[in-house]
Amino acid sequence: MRTSKLPHVGTTIFTTMSALANEHGALNLGQGFPSFEVDNVWGDLVKKHIDAGRNQYAPMPGIPELRSALSTKIKRSYQQEFDSASEITVTAGATQAIFTAIQTFVHAGDEVILFAPAYDCYAPAIELIGAKAIWIELRYPDYQIPWKEVAEKMNERTAMIILNHPHNPSGASIDASDIQQLISITKDTDCIVLSDEVYEHILFDERQHQSVLRYPELRDRSLAVFSFGKTFHLTGWKMGYIIGAAALMSEFKKVHQYNVFCCNTPVQYALAEYLEDEEKYLSIPKFYQEKRDKFNLQLQSSDFEILPSAGTYFQLLNYKKISDASDVEVAVEWTKKYKITTIPCSVFYPNQLDEKVLRVCFAKDDATLERAVEILSQIKA
């Protein structure tokens, strides 16, 4: 047996907790995916393009119609022009875009700055190259980026900073002052900013999403990653895209073409057509904000501390009034005892920092959320 390239990686917590949820018939608020039906136009839309014979390989960076629709969307959302021919690539979900971007720009021995708690796909991609993850902690309760520490950790080996905002798992967002810090810290360096913005449209209370694409000062060094799965409740379709300056994108495509080469053709045509109606994405913040508000309001009389959630479809709950047990123990015990499954936040920290916080996903239908509130409200010390 050859030595593992990822010796520390086992089964992910999402798989473990979902299996436990199934075993115990528990309500699963663990993994982040919607439980409600998708827009009913999709079936006809995709079938139309399959029937029209659009079933062979797409152009490597994506079909021109979809890239053009995305260029328009970015202009509308972030007031910046990105050339559909040279600055946009369609990917197999955000995950592939992230993996490919890391492969493209990070060399063995480089350092990559990452923020914990972190979504789980960044660190293994860095480790596979033989580069080093430099972790910076975002801490309970507000999970803001400590920019002074970022500046201290930057050096000539720093190849990349990976940002994720709105942030999974905390639901925190960044504002314009964070971006100013980012600009000043990365100015005159060759550090790439990889900005994971899959929750760009799931941002609440009239906040403006601070995409790196808004900022011409970051253009020479930033790539932003998005997910149709997250935006249109189609996580199983694994479709996403990445946007950045032509010089960066041309390097990205060198790797992308040997990674997947291209993505699902009829679905790309369907997405291009769907994007013609901007209401489809402009209506999303309201849709999820109503879910967040209803869920949190009903939970107010419970013994959980409900942490502020600026965006994403995740809500953090602190349970320190209820139990002293570790978050992993609590998540497992409550799946078995109360039949509700959550994700312990310590798993998003490389050092398993346990702040007695659980993550729940509220991208669920009303009946599921009501049942979840009923169960959570019964859990007492």
Using CB under 6 A, list all residues that contact ligand PLP: 32, 93-95, 119, 164, 168, 196, 198, 227, 229, 235, 238, 240
Least distance in Å: CB of 214 to ligand PLP? 19
Least distance in Å: CB of 164 to ligand PLP? 5
Nearest residue relative to ligand PLP (C-beta): 93
Tell me the helices (H) and strands (E) count for the chain, helix number first. 14, 13
d(CA 136, CA 344): 19
- 8 A C-beta contact, residue 145 and residue 291: no
For the chain, list the strands marked E by DSSP.
27-28, 88-91, 111-116, 132-137, 158-164, 192-196, 222-227, 240-244, 305-306, 314-318, 340-341, 343-344, 357-361
d(CA 184, CA 85): 30
- 8 A C-beta contact, residue 341 and residue 17: yes
**Closer CB to ligand PLP, 125 or 340, in the complex:** 125
**Closer CB to ligand PLP, 196 or 303, in the complex:** 196
Question: In this structure, are strands 132-137 and 111-116 parallel, antiparallel, or unpaired?
Answer: parallel
The candidate with the shortest Cα–Cα distance to 349, out of 149, 177, 102, 140, is: 140
**Closer CB to ligand PLP, 118 or 379, in the complex:** 118
Site of tokens 């006809």: 44
Q: Is 290 helix (H, G, I), strand (E, B) or coil?
A: helix
Least distance in Å: CB of 244 to ligand PLP? 16
**Closer CB to ligand PLP, 84 or 95, in the complex:** 95
**Closer CB to ligand PLP, 150 or 198, in the complex:** 198
- 8 A C-beta contact, residue 121 and residue 252: no
Cα dihedral 82, 106, 202, 282 in deg (nearest 10): 10
**Closer CB to ligand PLP, 127 or 217, in the complex:** 127
Least distance in Å: CB of 195 to ligand PLP? 11
Least distance in Å: CB of 152 to ligand PLP? 25
**Closer CB to ligand PLP, 94 or 307, in the complex:** 94
Least distance in Å: CB of 336 to ligand PLP? 25
Least distance in Å: CB of 56 to ligand PLP? 24
